[in-house]
Each structure stands twice: as structure tokens, then as C-alpha cells.
Structure 1
Amino acid sequence: MTALPSPAPAGALFGTAVVAGVGLIGGSVALGLRQRGLARRVIGLDASMDVLRDAEALGVVDEVRAGPGDWLREADLVVLAAPMRALGPLARALAPHLNPAALVTDVGSVKAGIAAELERLGVHQFVPGHPMAGSERGGVTHARAELLENAVWVLTPTEATPLSALSRARALVEALGAAPVVMPPQAHDDLVATVSHLPYLASLALTHLVARDERLSLLAAGGFRDLTRVASGDPRMSRDMVVENRAPLRAALGRFRTQLERLEAELDAPEALLAAAEEGKRTRDSLPVVRRSLLPRRHDLVVAVSDRPNQIGAVTQALGGAGVNIKDIEVLAVREDGGAIRLGLETPEDAQEAARILTGAGFEVRGRG
């Protein structure tokens, strides 16, 4: 007989939550679950007894386990928080023991591979995720729930992701104080190649220049420090991250080389270089994280859907095929007879075009706000 997940207490989202991999991010998730009362108990799973002892002593988790087993059947939330290279093996080790009703998510920085792996393993309640948060200081001893607050947390459902699972994952992210953003796995990987993985390689290149001339280190000031901050991260974890996403990263590197070559040419054209500098300032100053407005304004549509597989996929395929870019997806309701999802579009024109396409495809659509 399949064990039922532990019932959640009043006000909690989950009964038993398991965080598999109790490092900086996993530990921060566990602390958030405990401090916000989102689970009745939080179990830390890790191969390192030293990590487990620290996690228990620091109050990061309620209980610890050193390996998977039938005890996992009690969990109704499982968070895979191992380093990138270990995520696949961890998923394969846990999959035979999971309760089919448990929500499973991860915190890896590359999504396409782990999404495909969990689908292959038959874990149907899986919603890939990536909290855009971190620190140069790793490990459970530096974990803190506040690390996740106000962070963008990307959720990357596949075509097979049930609406109910996405809704539960979104509720978890919001309850932890983060801001969920929904997009396909490959779209996520293409974007982070430019905004996360490329800056890491650029910071390595700059630090290598300094390492080869000790005079440079004497003159390295605040700007150099800020540009190379990410080089202070865990080398092995960072290596695994960029290697896992190497195809999109190679494309981003090509675009970056083109930009550097253009700027090099403009050293002999001061007015063109000034225009480039002004464009750079406008772009940097307009970033949501710089303006302290976490997410830009969206234009919303609400789409009625049936509660069956591939409804999200049908909507995204219809719009993607027509070149309409969805900026956000939210599950508003899930009922036995169907549900509703909110689509965030970038412009009013995008919203109008999306409504026309989806209505033509047989969906019921209405505007919102």
C-alpha cells in the first residue's frame, strides 16, 4: 500500500518536506520552510554526515537522513538541492521511493537536462525551478531564509507538467517570499547563459589578467572588485554550472566577442563610444534590480483551460509558433472541471494578438487589469 503524505498543519502548505542537499540554497529553503511555518517537519537529506550535523545543530532542519529509503513516501514536498553534476544521480536515487502525489522541484541553475531526466523517470508532479539567489560563501553554515526573499525564482514547467503542480510550486515560491517567473526550460537556459554564466567566465578572464601581473592587483579598485565578484564562488560548482549549459553559453560568448570588437573599433570614434556609453547607462539604470522594482509591468490575459495534461503546452505552443513572447504564467485556479491561467505579455499589442490567436484555437480568453 502507498503511504499517504503527512497532513499539513493549519496554515502550512505541506506536512513533511524533504530538502535533498543541505547546502547554501537547500539550507536557505529549509530555513524558510521552518521559519514561515510552511511544513510540519523538514527533513534534511545529504551524503555528508558533517553537513547533516551542522544542519541539525543550527536548527536548519528538524530531522536528518543520510540516504533515500521508504521513509520518503511520507513526504509531500521534495526539493532537489544538490550541485548541478549531482542532480541527475540524486533524482535517480530518490525516484523509486517518492510518493506519486508529492510535489518535486529543484534549485539547479540549468533546467533542460534535469527536466528531461525527471520526465524520463516518470516523476509527474515535477516542476523545475531556479531561485536567482546566492552568495560567494557556500555551505549550510551560511544559509539564511532571507537569501530567498524578493529573489526572482524561475519555474520552468514542461508540456507534461500538471496545472495543479505548477500552482503548488508557485504557492511555495511566493510563501518563501520570492517572486515566481514562469518560462520553458530551454528559454531559461538561453537567458541565464547571458546574464549569469557569461559574467562568470568574464570575471574569470579578468582575474586571470591580474594573476599574471602582480602590479595590477595593487591597483585593482572597487570597479574591478564588483566586476569579478562571482569568481569567488565555489570553483567546482561554477565549473559544473557552465559546462552543463555550454551550448547556449557558446552562443552568448560569440555575441559578447562581437560587442567587444565593436567597442574596440569605437576607441577611434569618440562620439560613437559616447553613444555606446549612454546606451549602457540607460540599460543598466533601467534594470528592475537597479530600480528596486522587482518585475516590470505586464499586460495580462486570463485563459480558461481543462485540467488535463499538456494544457500549458498547448497555450505556449500556439503563441510561440506565432512569435508572441509570454513573459509570465500563473495558475489562478484548478478545479475538477477545469481551471484558469494568467498570461503576462510585454505590450498591449502582444496581449491583443495573444487573445486573437488563443480564441481562434478554441480557448476562452478575457483581459485582466
Structure 2
Amino acid sequence: MQKGMFNLSHVSAGFTAVLVGYTSSVVIIIQAATAAGATSSQIESWLLALGLAMGFTSIAFSWYFKKPILTAWSTPGAAMLVAAVGQYEVSVVLGAFVISGLLIVLTGLISPLSKALANIPPQLATAMLGAILLSFCVKTFSPVMTDPIIFFCMFAAFLAGKRFLPQYTMAILLLVGIVYSVISGAFDNQNIDLTFARPEWITPSFSIAAMINLSFPLYIITMLSQNLPGIAMMRSHSYEVPVKPLLLGSGLANILFAPIGGFSVNLAAISAAICMNKEVDEDPAQRYRAVIWAGIFYLIAGVWATTVVATFLALPKEVTQILAGLALLGTLLMCFQTAFKEENIRESALYTFLITLSGVTFLGVGSVVWGLVVGLLHLHFIAKKV
């Protein structure tokens, strides 16, 4: 019974991993799709695509390799998309997703490419990421002027959750937000049913500008903030990581699901740890079963994406702002700690941070790319000379 598929600790760990992943960032995915001009049915398709892609890859990887290999979407990548997709048609945005997936496949096939990516200083990568996340975190506090009651209720719930039930903080925060929204009448005219989501195919189209400003940043962010930490997380729990097959598989999943909205499938890091500790199973060789359950819950969440989307779209703007901002606070803090930790690279990281934050576009290239480029140039030609 201990090694059976219906072990309660496996089921609960898998459910918790999915719950943490969804409650912490699904609102950001919806914001990204909305910014791209997606309709409500297309947003449902995005979440269906992500649920299916993450579910199938988590189950397939874990079953085949007999290791707890959990995949997830890229929350930082979605945050980048919120700010960057507005100037492109939906079909072009989906084309950028295809190219990002292709770059991940090539990274798995071409060793020098993966080595070059690994050689990008983490200080510059996290400075770039921190600039992207900062605007979300700052908006957390805007509702104190428009709806102070919900702000103080949710902020108090957040602090209490961090103190007493840190693993479920975002779930508690979401529950408080939904309860307040119901009491305030936000759901009065909403028809939310448990109906199945349907995929909505949009043939991807491609543009050089979108490849530069969407595909390349999404690829860099996904690799540096998701895949590499995910690999490190598995190794920290003494699991050998089949890196190339995982990059090939996740990259192909990105390409296959992009036409219905699958923007990113990558290795999970924080949520994956939930399925790797001793509480899941004393035998490390059996912990992969928890990820298989997580994959099943991913599939269920994807199939019911219609309900998920309807619920989050009905929430007041203040609630979604608070959810998104507080969900990213921990990641933002990690970015600042990493970016400005070492004195000899601190100034280069600062240029990367400020240029990315500026939102400027020059020669058709956006600030995310320019921030990383200028930071790298400063590091190699100025900082190292000092």
C-alpha cells in the first residue's frame, strides 16, 4: 500500500503543488492574455493549453524517468508578457511562443548554446527580472486609495498566512479576495458553471520584432528563472537530472500547444520542492508518484479552465492587483538580493535594472533586451577593467 498510486501523502503533495502554482499566479496569466487582446474564450484556451501541457509533461517525465519532475508555467515570463504584448496581434504573440519553444529545443540539442546561456551572470538576469516584476509589486498598494477595506483585509491575511501557514498563504489570500468579492456583489450578475474549456486554434504568424521583443526575453527568462533553478532543485534533493530530454520535451510541448495559447512549459522549482521532501515518501525513488498526481490535477484544472477564467474575471481590479503583486514579492526580493549582492558587478546590474524598468524602445528593440545587452557590455568592457 505504501508504494501504491493512491498513497494519501502522494495525492496531497501533488494537489498542494498545483494549488500553490495556480493560486500564486493564474491571475497574471489572465492579465497577459488580456493584454494580448485575447477574448474570454481565448483566455480559457490559454489556461486549457497550459493545464494539458503541464499535466502531460509532468506525468510523462516522471513516469518515464521515475523521478519527481514537475513542470509549470513561467510566472516571470507571464509578467514580462503583460507589459510587452500589447502592440502585437494575438497570432503574432502565439508565433513568438513557437519561437521561444524552438529556442528551448535548440538549447537541448546544442551544448554550446546551453553553456552560453548558463554563462549569463545571474546578477544581470535577476536585475532584468526584478525590473519586470517591480511594477506588479508596486501596484499592490494602489487599492489603499480606492478600496482600503479590501486592501487591509487581504494584506492582513497575507501577513498572517506568511506567519502561520506559509505554504498556503496565496490560497488564503485568494479565499479572502473571493469572499470579499461575493459580499461586495461582484458575482451577482456572473454565471459561473463547471463547464469544460474548449481549445481555440489561432494559426501563429511571425515577425522579427516579436521574435526580438517577445520570444528572446521569454526564452531567457524561462531558462534562467525556471529551468536552471528547476534543475538545481532536483540536484539539491540528490536526483540525477536528464537535462537534454527535459529541454527537448518541454520545448516541443511549447511548440505544440502555442497555437491554442500555451506560452511556456518549463521545469518547476519552488512548487516542485513540495513533491521532493521526506514528508511525501521516505523512499526517494517513490516520490515521482506525487508528481504524477500533480499532473492529474493539472489536467483537471485545465479542463475546467472556463470556471477558473470566469471566477478571476469577475474579481474586482483591486483584488487582482493585490493577488498579482503579493504573489511576486518573494521573487522580487530574491532578484534584488542576487542582482546587487556582489560589488564588482553591482553597477552593471543597476544599468540592466534601470534600462529594463524604463520601458524604452529603440530600433524596434524593447527595454528588456536592451537592459540585458547594456549590462553585459558594461560588465565586459568597463566593469572588468576597473
The normalised TM-score by structure 2 is: 0.19
Structure of larger gyration radius: 1
Structure with the larger RCO, 1 or 2 (CA within 8 Å, 6+ apart): 2
Which one has the bigger strand percentage?
1
More helix by share: 2
